[in-house]
Chains A and B, each alone.
Chain A
């Protein structure tokens, strides 16, 4: 099995690249990398021009995959996303023309402007990593990763994502405005020479590296006490009347995987309670339906109700199939 330490150089380089693209947003970058390694999808909710697209494009370039952008509008059709069968006059046969979803990183911009019909086309792709066109299944690549964005201020003519679709995302992040010095740095970086920009576009990872990293993440150790801790936290959200509905088992599974990814980013081969707690806010943002959804207060309230297991764990089991 691959150890997280083997990938630390690549992870550090990846992290640096993204931090150079998005100045002063280290925590956002960490969450994005966590989500990428956990094979989850991200929903970015922020104002226009704060770097959502830049982040997605930079991530694609660093990972070395294909990037596709989908500008969601009310007239977007499912076939515009998945692709369609085109009749080839020469061969007298239908040929499948893949849509933008057949990429490694898909940026679905302003996803809440697409109609529910178009949104649901993304459902199967995000959950199953496959699409069905004319009763024919087409598999997406294993590293398929969706970064969806939505604009929080303009609600006119939007279709809010239903709970079922929200559950397919692993996290919801807000980038926010950069700090003063970071913004100055950003302006300085904008004055670049041609040679600089070419170097910046070279991918960090070799082909297949991301798949190996994701497999390693899935095999990291999490002791039963921490799994019980996760379920206890989930039960708090389910039993508390303040929440409209609590965490689903799928969300708990994703929480565990995100914790493993966070441990991987720290170079550890085991999950700690800190990993679980640090990924909780972006996870709660999307999986908890409450009056004050995703507020820091909500997360703290839930975490405060369950004691952290600190005892020395003797019986250990390795979770995941291993790499």
Chain B
């Protein structure tokens, strides 16, 4: 069975073949060729047959499969790798053979099992975070004059030196100030990633769910295989099927990530990724290959079993948070909890967190509270990437809010996460990269992501098992879903339908009333105007006269004898209807075209009386009768 594209090709070629035959026959008709014996030779049927053969053969080759050009004409068309059929290793060099020819992604280069691309297997983002935020200060150098419970105390006391085995899986809030920030910022050319597509974008690499007062810790690694599904015919896109479906998501954004100097097995991906594809991973076995290559580190972060080489392309399609949905479903999506995971607050920080959270207790529960907290932090405090917590400070929230009145993003994220935990929302802190639209390089068409773009934000757990992200740090924007006009209309229709379906009897009654009103709309308008003309006061005489004329015009139209726009009122009403007194038309004309205004009470009364008389006597029925007589 032909697919749509092949059908189009067939139709075009058939059309072209018919035109070719028609042109050839017309040409032959006008050629005055006469043979030696004076007989006109027969038309060259074999030539027509050849034309049709070429056209249909071409269409057959082109439309035999979706990427038939590449399959069948591979050796005929220029490409760097040639077709796999001629040489099975032809693609290994540049990897753009079939892709370049068939066209879905001409630059496709992905992770391969080739030794050529294998690099060191660094298993964490430790180096990136250290370069971005500075070295963590070892715990034994922190002077703490606070009460900590025995277990925690012993645990920390027992650690004689920083545990570098765990260092990559935690993030300390106490860090040394970076000295060489300027030098790093100038090295944009050696970006970790290059992102094509609209910003801003949050790329998630690490999740921290527990906080001990000093460091955020990652959850246990599950290392679970990704469930991927290929749904499109060319098997290039792979859909993530084992993620909880969030109700508050909407839209679809496409981004292309090109790996630069980032050396990690963590794949920095948008939080709400729904599908992805790799350049060379297309093909029938793409699904199996990807499921072997990618695995969940834990919920929300994917790792690759091999390092993604510099230059590898990763196309991702992700959704965005639709705030209108969050605002509509107030308690349903973001619910408070009193017990469970992601709610612990270190004891010595409980007071500070509650103090910050108290300002938002009176707000409606759910997204408004989170928005209130975010807005508060973003409005009243400043982002300072180079600031750091003094080792003697034991309350990072208090220090951020009342002493420094600003700080780096991880302090904002910590304060927001703990304040929301104090309100009862399960939260976690997420780190990764922020794709800043301000850094977009228009000439190159991408946004470079460097170590300076390392960033922390917060996610709050939703009732359906997913996580809703928000960014409390000033200067960092979250991409918000902006519905299209059609989408907004459809949403509104859907909401109205849902409202009506919940109240069928009342809705039917309302619908019947609306239909009746629509059916008799001009009658209603005429009644309203009549009441207005007879009872309501007018600004002045001119307004009264104009309204009366408008009413007469409407009645005439309803009576089937509408006054044409080019006919004057005197010509129409004065000559057809005796009821229209000449005095009314004289007053109307004097008000419309005259140069004197008479403001005496008597004059006003006269005009009021005239207008009312006309409105009463020249009814719609009267107009109808006159019209019928004519």
Contact = CB atoms under 8 A, between A and B. Distances in A.
B571 A274 contact: yes
A308 B593 contact: no
Contacts of B138: none
Main secondary structure of the interface of A (DSSP, over half): loop
Interface stretch (A33-41, A82-90, A183-191, A264-272): A264-272
B616 to A, nearest CB: 22
Nearest to A263: B593
B569 A310 contact: yes
A269 B597 CA distance: 13
Interface in A289-323: 303-308, 310-314, 316, 318
A308 B566 contact: yes
Interface residues of A, number: 26
Interface string B111-130: 00000000000000000000
B595 A310 contact: no
Contact of A313 (B549, B568, B571, B592): B592
A311 B595 contact: no
Given A306-B566, A307-B566, A272 B589 contact: yes
Contacts of A273: 568, 593
A223 interface: yes
A312 B595 contact: no
Contacts of B591: 312
Contact of B571 (A222, A277, A306, A307): A277
B590 interface: yes
Contacts of A310: 549, 568-569, 592
A272 B565 contact: no
A221 interface: yes
Contacts of B80: none
B596 A269 contact: yes
Interface stretch (B253-261, B346-354, B477-485, B540-548): B540-548
A232 to B, nearest CB: 11
Contacts of B593: 221-223, 225-226, 270-273, 313
A222 B596 CA distance: 12
Nearest to B550: A310
B570 interface: yes
Contacts of B545: 312
B592 A312 contact: yes
Interface in B551-587: 564-571
Interface string A215-243: 00000011101100000000000000000
A274 B594 contact: no
B571 A311 contact: no
Most buried by A among B564, B569, B593: B593
A313 B564 CA distance: 20
Contacts of A270: 589-590, 593-595
A222 to B, nearest CB: 8
Contacts of B542: 312, 314
Contacts of A268: 589
Interface string A164-208: 000000000000000000000000000000000000000000000
Interface in B575-628: 589-596
A312 B564 CA distance: 18
Contacts of A274: 568, 570-571
Given A304-B564, A312-B543, A269 B595 contact: yes
Contacts of A303: 566
Nearest to A319: B595
Contacts of A313: 592-593
Contacts of B569: 310
Given A223-B593, A269-B595, A311 B546 contact: yes
Nearest to A318: B595
Contacts of A308: 565-568
A285 to B, nearest CB: 20
Contacts of B543: 312
Contact of B592 (A277, A307, A311, A318): A311
B27 to A, nearest CB: 43
A221 B594 contact: yes
A27 to B, nearest CB: 15
A305 B546 contact: no
A305 B595 contact: no
Interface string B524-552: 00000000000000000011011001000
A311 B545 CA distance: 10
Contacts of A272: 568, 570, 589, 592-593
B509 to A, nearest CB: 41
Nearest to B594: A270
A281 to B, nearest CB: 14
A312 B590 CA distance: 10
A222 B546 CA distance: 19
A207 to B, nearest CB: 30
A103 B545 CA distance: 48
A274 to B, nearest CB: 5
Nearest to A229: B566
B415 to A, nearest CB: 63
Nearest to B541: A312
B566 A304 contact: yes
A245 B327 CA distance: 67
A316 B546 CA distance: 17
Nearest to A308: B568
Interface in B306-347: none
A43 B591 CA distance: 36
B314 to A, nearest CB: 63
Interface string B463-499: 0000000000000000000000000000000000000
A277 B594 contact: no
Contacts of A318: 595
A279 to B, nearest CB: 13
Most buried by B among A225, A269, A273, A303: A273
Contacts of A305: 566
A221 B595 CA distance: 7
A314 B595 CA distance: 9
Contacts of B595: 221, 223, 269-270, 316, 318
Contacts of B568: 272-274, 277, 308, 310
Contacts of B566: 303-308
Nearest to A222: B593
Contacts of B549: 310
Contacts of A277: 568, 571
Contacts of A311: 546, 592
A226 B595 CA distance: 13
A312 B565 contact: no
Nearest to B565: A307
Nearest to A309: B592
Nearest to B571: A274
A63 B592 CA distance: 34
A268 B593 CA distance: 11
A272 B590 CA distance: 9
B180 to A, nearest CB: 74
B459 to A, nearest CB: 62
Nearest to B547: A312
A305 B567 CA distance: 11
Nearest to A305: B566
Contacts of B594: 221, 269-270
Given A270-B590, A313-B592, 17 more contacts: A221-B594, A223-B592, A223-B593, A270-B589, A270-B594, A271-B593, A272-B589, A272-B592, A272-B593, A274-B568, A274-B570, A305-B566, A306-B566, A307-B565, A308-B568, A310-B592, A318-B595
Interface of B: 542-543, 545-546, 549, 564-571, 589-596
8 contacts: A270-B593, A271-B593, A272-B589, A272-B593, A306-B566, A308-B565, A310-B569, A312-B542
Of all A-B residue pairs in the complex, the 3 with the closest CB atoms, nearest first, are: A307-B565, A221-B595, A312-B542
